[in-house]
Structure 1
Amino acid sequence: MTVLFFYGTLRHLPLLQQVLGREVAVEPAALPGHTVARAEAGDWPTLVPLAGALASGSLMRDVTDSDLERLDFYEGGFGYRLAAQSVRVSDGTTLTALVYMPPEGQGSAGDWSLDDWRLNWGDVAVATAADVMMLMGQRSGAEVARRYGLMQVRGASRLRAATAAPATRRHHAGDSDVQVLRHRQSYANFFALEEYDLTYRRFDGSRSPVINRAVFVSGDAVTVLPYDPARDRVLLIEQFRAGPMGRGDPQPWLLEAIAGRIDAGETPEQAARREAVEEAGLNLGALEFVAGYYPSPGAKSEYIYSYVALTDLPDGIEGVFGVEGEAEDIRGHLIEFEALMSLIASGEVNNAPLMLTALWLQRERARLRTPRHGDSDNTSV
């Protein structure tokens, strides 16, 4: 009989069951001579030898060969390896259990709390694990580990997608309206390409024939246009874009709003503020929500949250910014609002989120420029 002891994130039962693909039962146990600490590189646990300590955890009995195969795939890419350890169970007796020991050299940095991790990362981890386990047999554990951060972004996007927009005029989809018969990942790097063989319910109630659809998968994104209502000006950014280049556009440098991916563990608003610092050196004021939307739903999973930020934009704040490790080279442009609308009319601004946001600002501009009682500047949160 194979027995496993879990001391870290797999103590979160929904995550363990997602990885194993079945319901399981666990019981409390502890690993003598060890303590659980926060890994130096991030918010996940590591096991540290410590005389007299007890590392709390969960014990799983009757582990199958399939369970071990799935767990090896999930853990192996990160360098965790099974080792036999003496574990103490609730009645005070000890038994031998297999434990996924952390890779050598994984430093620790203070205490780690399962409850805190569960609150901040539990749902994202479960959603991400569904994508990870889909790749078993298609990708190596090392490939999954290399892309895990991007997969977390996608997992967080799926959680946000679960809160759907209203369906008062359009069809209100039920659980069986779309049936996926086969799902595979054809390509994965910064983005992923996934193929689905599926059938869906037609408007007359019948089912469609089986069709194949490819989806270009990326995480949710945010855009934010800084606007100074006192000076009636905005800050645009300019950068090289591979998409227009791939289309054959001889002018692949685009004027845009500040934009970026929403990292796992942050809200769209937090992402907007982070990206503004990275791409323009700006600390934004109050955020005005513009819209949430799919820019190209026929082929892309990307969902964008767009904002206008009321921000003080004095002369001379534009410059060249960007995260060096991401090869970003981003130039800022301070322009009057009417100049922005002229650039849209001429076609020089051809970036859809910026155009959508500018049209929203055109509608709301008078309201935003009306002084509010108690306002002394544009930099309030």
Structure 2
Amino acid sequence: MRLSVECFIACRIFSISTAKPFKPNDMYTFILLAIAIPYTAMGSCPNINKRAEWGAQPAKSTLKLKINPAPYVVVHHSETPPCTDAGACKNRVKNIQSYHMNTKGWQDIGYNFLIGGDGSIFEGRGWGIHGAHLPSFNQRSIGICLIGSFQNNVPSSIQISALRSLISCGTDLGKIDQNYRLIGHRQGGSTDCPGNKLQEILKTMPHFEPRPVCTCPKIVSRSEWKAKAPTEIIPLTIDPPPYVVVHHSATQNCTNLTSCLKMVKGIQDFHMDTNEWDDIGYQFLIGTEGTIFEGRGWGRKGAHVPKFNARSIGVCLIGNFQIMPPVQIQLDSLKALTDCGVQNGKIAENYTIIGHRQGSATLCPGDYLYEIVQNMSRYNPNPS
């Protein structure tokens, strides 16, 4: 007689726990064990529609979470019409992925999971994968999006039940920390997401964290990259500044810390020795691998677009984005840097973001990067 894997394990557990070989009259205990094992293996997890089941596009690339199990769960709303049946929800998830990848240029759908109005759960990036939903938390959270717009409308009770079940599943599987903290998107970024009605519900749920730690990203200081001393330092005229100006270096990419350090030093040399500027022109620079470098730094007047130098933070993404798009980790670092600036009073809360070409006759920041800037929520088409 062939035994299933569960039956075989049940026999072994019985023999080990009782120090006796399995006998036919022990069948009652055996049956209980055989039933319990697969149930225990499933834990409390609800059904999750896998990527293949909803027809996901392949991810362009994936990164693992830096902190796993994740200490945070971040809840979002899709800010779209709701979906109330399996077919409609499947199509909505596919549309969200298409928008994130094809319009925003992300590597995949931004969320780890999504939940439809009928309570169906869809695998986005999945467990243990770095998301693209809240830059200061992407590396240490599971992002869950409830499909619908919940600024004025209340999510369905079945959606909230599915959210609770999914979080419980994550803790059971060791994918979410047992002492996780639950937050809404708005608590880590300048947004209304997940909507007022959903945010109020989150406040009543276990593990809600009213004051999450919004850590700033690591910034390589001037001393660390061995910057030359500036010949003059002038403070910003308007501080905190109301603008963030995005540039590209129009150079080759740098692919590791060593090559990025060399690139930043080369840019400073060019700006000071050839252009005869007081210092490197930008307040910050971001390498191709996402590392942020301090240029002139917070609160100091830049030399990157004359009309905005005294009232902006100039950020240069290293690479030539006239010929190719920036990588997602550079964009994540840009968002994390601006969020850090707002949280620490270094950038105005109502700031807007623009590309260099909007203030000077130039192709900078390159067509590919400028298209991405135009799709950012803070983009200002008519800066003054």
TM-score (norm 2): 0.21
Structure (1/2) with the larger helix percentage = 2
Could you say which structure has the greater relative contact order, defined with CA pairs below 8 angstroms and 6 or more residues apart?
Answer: 2
